[in-house]
Structure formats: C-alpha cells, structure tokens
Amino acid sequence: MGQTGLTKSPVNRRTRKFSVELIEVDAAAASCGHRAIAGRVVASTIWKEAQKSGKRHTEVSVSGCVETKTLSQPPESMAPKAVVEGVIDLVYLTLEGWKIIDYKTDTVTDEADLKRLAEWHAPQLRAYAKHWETIVGERVVYTCLYFVRPDLCVSI
C-alpha cells in the first residue's frame, strides 16, 4: 500500500480528537496521575513537532510475522516465527522521513533502570518501524521510546 488515504480527513479528525482527549482528562484520571502524564505529552517537543506534520497518526494497529529471536523474551518452546500485534502510539512525517514514538508510563528509578527498560521495549519499536516501512513504502528515520514520567525520550 502506498501513501494513498493516509491524510484523509477521518484520520485528521481522530488525531484532533486524541489531542482533545489528552487535554480533557477527567478528575478520576487526574487522581491517578494521568492528567500530569497527558500534560507532559502535549507539552513535549515531540508532540509539538507532530502537530505541525500534515501526516500524523495515533493509535495505529499493526501486525506482522517476526522471528521470535527478535522478541524481548521469547519462550523456548515458541516457533521460529510468530505473528505479533501492537499499536503505534504516534507516527508522523517530517521532511527527513517518518518518526515513530512509543509512549511508556513505566516508573524509572535511575539510569540503569532506564537502560533496562529501553532494552526491554526496543524490539517492539524496531518491529513497528519495520512494519510501517512496509505499509507506506517509505523510510522510518527516527524511533523513540518516550518515558513520560521522567519526561525522557530514548532514541532506538
């Protein structure tokens, strides 16, 4: 599939709706700390850059066949290949190419913890990039795990 249909208005409406939903978090969510997380996301440089893109998408479902050895912790009894599914949190086009951001709400205690979490989540993000390139036929130039609690973006 090429780029056809990537910028149709329903996608842009969903993106605007997502943006509004992030800002209009209810009181119950605020008591769980979600309002602060949403605030960090919409205040981030990444979110602001994505808003300038004419081609941006949130919550994109993807699935595909991967070699199980590329998974974070494949069970020993697993077949050499498996179908995996996931959701790309944010993908948008810049002049350089596509960027994929995966939001993480993990609690990060220190630098070693951040490294461990990034290594754990990296295969997921690499799979997203591979599948997105297949879908749109264009290059992903940047992938990032955005840990919202410490407000840190780890490039993968």
DSSP 2-27: -STTTT-HHHHHHHHHHHHHHHS--H
Question: Tokens 């090429």, residue?
Answer: 2
Q: What is the pLDDT of residues 40-50, one digit of tens each?
A: 888 888 899 99
Domain residues of the chain, as ranges? 9-155
Q: How far, CA to CA in Å, does 69 sit from each of 7, 54, 72, 131, 148?
A: 35, 36, 8, 17, 28
Whether pTM > 0.85 for this model: the answer is no
Residue 49: helix, strand or coil by DSSP? helix
CATH of domain 9-155: 3.90.320.10
pLDDT in tens, 115-152: 999 999 998 899 899 889 988 999 999 999 999 888 88
Residue 22's SS3 state is helix
